[in-house]
Amino acid sequence: MKNKAGTTIGLISVAASLAAVSVLAGCGSEEKSGSSSSPAPGASVPVQSAPAKKEEPTKIKIITQMSNEAPNDDNPVKLELEKLTNTKLDITWVPSTAYNDKFNATLASSELPHVLLVSSNRSANVVNAVRAGAFWEIGPYLKQFSNLSKLNPEVLNGAGYDGKIYLLPRSRDAARHVVAYRKDWLNNLGLSEPKTLDDFYKVAKAFTENDPDKNGKNDTVGYVETSSLDSLTRDVSIYFGAPFTYGLVNNQVTPNFLTPAYLEALQFYRKMYAEKIMNQDFALINVMQMKDMLVKGKAGMAITVDSDLSAVYKDTKKIDPSADFGFVQGLTGPKGLLASSTGGFLGGYMFSKGTIKTEAELLKILAFFDKISTPEGMTLLYRGVKDADYAVEGQYAIPDESRPDTVKRANSALNQLAVAHVSVAMPLKQADVDATIAGLVAQNEKIAIYNISRALISKTQTEKGPELEKMIKDAQVKYIMAQLDEAGLKKAIEDWRKAGGDKVIAELTEEYHKTAK
């Protein structure tokens, strides 16, 4: 009790002294301007605190890409972004068509910016630069930031190198592929929505053979695929239960085409091709041509990314207002309903260790990305400036469509800086079809199958990946078209193994077990 009382008396004495100083300071402030400012002999000198100095903006040099038009330095969105984050941004905008060349030249030089967009994070020069210590390992710092710490760990790990995080990924939907079918054709034929692989086959057959558009002509095909075989490798093989790209089989990191489930998917395609219920020119057409077949009513079903299907729906309606599409999350197979992951990111940013000299400087730059990952920052990046680029209606942002295209294009370039998911921004008021598809994509994320090799590095794969991939794809196309039988397919796989495939498996497996420890 005595100590507490003593402490109280001491605090009162200090308070009294401070009060006296305050009174003296107050008196001094009331003196006339002509009075001497020199204190009287023995008088106390008032303590004056300096005004808080505003922290200098953090200067950040960034090289990134843009699709259409680069924003000027006085772009209102850019200025608001700098104000929000207390930064001065020096951004080099490179057209996406020329970005790889610019990136390679920059990486080969000794003058990297603070922040560099990496669009192909598994290219050999990026892997070599990471392992040579060119970039900061940012993983240990992310937990210090309220928004960056919320980034999807599956995505972060998938973008990693040797079990460490160097890339700050630009988040995207993780499972974007959806099944689309002509709903009006389905109704014309009295069929039910396809929900299983068997349903899909039956509907494809009916859409090919039973004149679903009722025009009296045999001019439709049930299902459309492209030369990339994207729907096979990303979707149909997953529905049959195969891994996505690579999976763990008997404790080995194994490519999907070495599994029985993938062979079933290939046989499914071979059957549809033989019966002409999928397009016979699949080996020759691209995604744009696939969309064109759907829009013009030449094909009745497809499996592809959400944005493609939304565009197909709207373009079809312009040609034929009575046309209608239905959408399903995926097709149930032997292991239930599964979806492929698109990885959950589209490139990302790396931070130069040669240009960012200290940890303190790195933290300031990461703080910029953390701040723009807030709802305020993401709304600015994706919607623009309130009351100029958009208005608010309830919980939605309503874009001002009267804004010049040049302004829209310049503003849209700035969302290349975003690393958080667009859903953090104020939502747009969506058309019903977009809301439906977005809901299916969100459901798919919960059942997505990830490529376990995404974070792994194989020297052989880095050097020979495209060559090896072409060997397998060519064999699969020939098998589907019955130009190879099963023995021929097995021979092609053996050739792949000898050409480097077995080394890829061994190297990925070694990396997997090393990083899993």
What average pLDDT does this structure show over 193-220? 97
- CATH number of the domain located at residue range(s) 177-340+450-516 in this protein: 3.40.190.10
What is 363-380 written as a DSSP string? Answer: HHHHHHHHHTTSHHHHHH
Predicted confidence at residue 53, as pLDDT, reads 64
- Could you tell me which of 380, 427, 377, 416 has the C-alpha nearest to residue 147? 377
Q: How confident is the model at residue 51 (pLDDT cuts 50, 70, 90)?
A: low
Whether the per-residue pLDDT at 386 is higher than 70: the answer is: yes
Q: How confident is the model at residue 517 (pLDDT cuts 50, 70, 90)?
A: low
Predicted confidence at residue 68, as pLDDT, reads 81
What radius of gyration do the chain's Cα atoms show? 30
pLDDT tens column, 406-450:
899 899 999 999 999 999 999 998 889 999 999 999 999 999 998
Predicted confidence at residue 213, as pLDDT, reads 97
pLDDT tens column, 72-117:
999 999 999 999 999 999 999 999 999 999 999 999 997 899 999 9
pLDDT tens column, 142-171:
999 999 999 988 889 889 888 899 999 999
Predicted confidence at residue 154, as pLDDT, reads 83
Give the separation between CA 177 and CA 302, rounded to whole angstroms: 10
Domain 58-172+343-426 top-level CATH class: alpha beta
Q: How confident is the model at residue 52 (pLDDT cuts 50, 70, 90)?
A: low
pLDDT tens column, 355-369:
999 999 999 999 999
Task: List the chain domain ranges.
Answer: 58-172+343-426, 177-340+450-516
Matching residue, tokens 């939502």: 427
Mean pLDDT lowest among 5-14, 51-60, 73-82, 410-419:
5-14
One fold for 58-172+343-426 and 177-340+450-516: yes
Question: pLDDT above 70 covers what percent of the chain?
Answer: 90
Q: Which residue has the higher pLDDT, 411 or 51?
A: 411
Q: Rounded to 5 degrees, what are φ and ψ at 14?
A: -65, -45
